Amino acid sequence: MTQKVAVVGAGKIGEALLSGMIRGGWSPSRLLASARRPERAEKLRVRYGVECVSASEAAKAADTLIITVKPQDMAGVMDELAADVPAGRLVISGAAGIPTTFFEERLTAGTPVVRVMTNTPALVDQGMSVLSAGRDAGETHLARAEEIFGGVGKTLRVPESQQDAATALSGSGPAYLFYLVEAMTDAGILLGLPRDKAHELIVQATIGAATMLRDSGEHPVTLRENVTSPAGTTINAIRELENHGVRAALLAAIEAARDRSRELASGRG
């Protein structure tokens, strides 16, 4: 396949994708990157052997153009490159909130657009990428996006109406889990453990629990019940979590993330 893929906005997510594609066997000669800062471009060149060009050059050369700039920068980038995207090329947006119509309105009529919400575990090939087709994108375009994002983890197709919810759950999800690990490590400190030991205990418990969630086929409630002995230690902790409204806090937090995604869509930066 001679397809060329360009990543415009090679920050955290853009770099995760580029590095994942290279780990997955893509030749750097089939990849292009566009970064705003020259030192960033140089770093990508040295680290991955990927050629760095302007956004508009990337748009002209790529069969598939992936745009991973911040939602607030998306209008500016599209002003810069939309006219340079040849008809029929695939445009993939990795931005939170921004709907496919935003791109369709700015690109040549009929340009296929796919919206993807990935997450930072893509850096370790454990990403979760949620894909939706825009008006003019079909099976081949979704399959091409899946080929790229599937190299750095799992993919799932959803209707675009579910993208803001997916963003709140799996896009932001790693941050909530890191936050929990951080708070649980503090709890270890409170109980007198050294920080490095508390960290190690929680990280391994997290990896073990995540593996069970993925591989055991059991419902999370069953897995939790299996830990929770009658008159044991765990139920005391669960009572405190309920007393402090942790479940309600998570519902409210994830709803707030969904709402922010909607705000970004309406241009409220």
Ligand X SMILES: NC(=O)C1=CN([C@@H]2O[C@H](COP(=O)(O)OP(=O)(O)OC[C@H]3O[C@@H](n4cnc5c(N)ncnc54)[C@H](O)[C@@H]3O)[C@@H](O)[C@H]2O)C=CC1
Ligand Y SMILES: O=C(O)[C@@H]1CCC=N1
Of 93 and 167, CB closest to ligand Y: 167
Candidates 57, 63, 80, 200: give the one binding ligand X (CB under 6 A). 80
List 5, 7, 9, 85, residue binding ligand X (CB under 6 A): 9
Q: Report if residue 84 touches ligand X, rule: CB under 6 A.
A: no
Tell me whether strands 51-52 and 64-67 are parallel, antiparallel or unpaired.
Answer: unpaired
* 171 lies in the site for ligand Y, by CB under 6 A: yes
Q: If binding is defined by CB under 6 A, does position 117 make contact with ligand X?
A: yes
Query: Amino acid identity, residue 170?
Result: S
The residue among 3, 14, 12, 128 whose CA lies nearest residue 66 is 14
Nearer to ligand X, 11 or 28 (CB): 11
Report, in Å, the least distance between residue 38 CB and ligand Y. 25
**Which of residues 64, 119, 132, 185 is near ligand X by CB under 6 A?**
119
d(CA 16, CA 152): 8
* Pairing relationship of beta strands 51-52 and 31-34 according to DSSP bridges: parallel
Q: What residue number has its CB nearest to ligand Y? A: 171
Q: Which residue's CB is nearer to ligand X, number 232 or number 269?
A: 269
Residue 185 sits in the site that holds ligand X (CB under 6 A): no
Query: Number of residues in contact with ligand Y, rule: CB under 6 A?
Result: 4
- Quick one: 68 or 185, whose CB is closer to ligand X? 68
Q: How far is 43 from 112, CA to CA, in rounded Å?
A: 31
With binding defined as CB under 6 A, does residue 34 bind ligand X?
A: yes
Q: Figure out which of the listed residues 99, 121, 171, 173 binds ligand X, where binding follows CB under 6 A.
A: 171
- Nearest one of 87, 83, 133, 95 to 8, comparing CA atoms: 95
Contact string (CB under 6 A) for ligand X, positions 211-230, x = contact: --------------------
Beta partners for 127? Answer: 153
Q: Are 27 and 2 in contact (CB under 8 A)?
A: no
Report the side by side order of strands in the sheet with 113-117. Answer: 51-52, 31-34, 5-8, 64-67, 90-93, 113-117, 127-133, 153-157
Pick from 172, 185, 198, 258: which binds ligand Y (CB under 6 A)?
Answer: 172
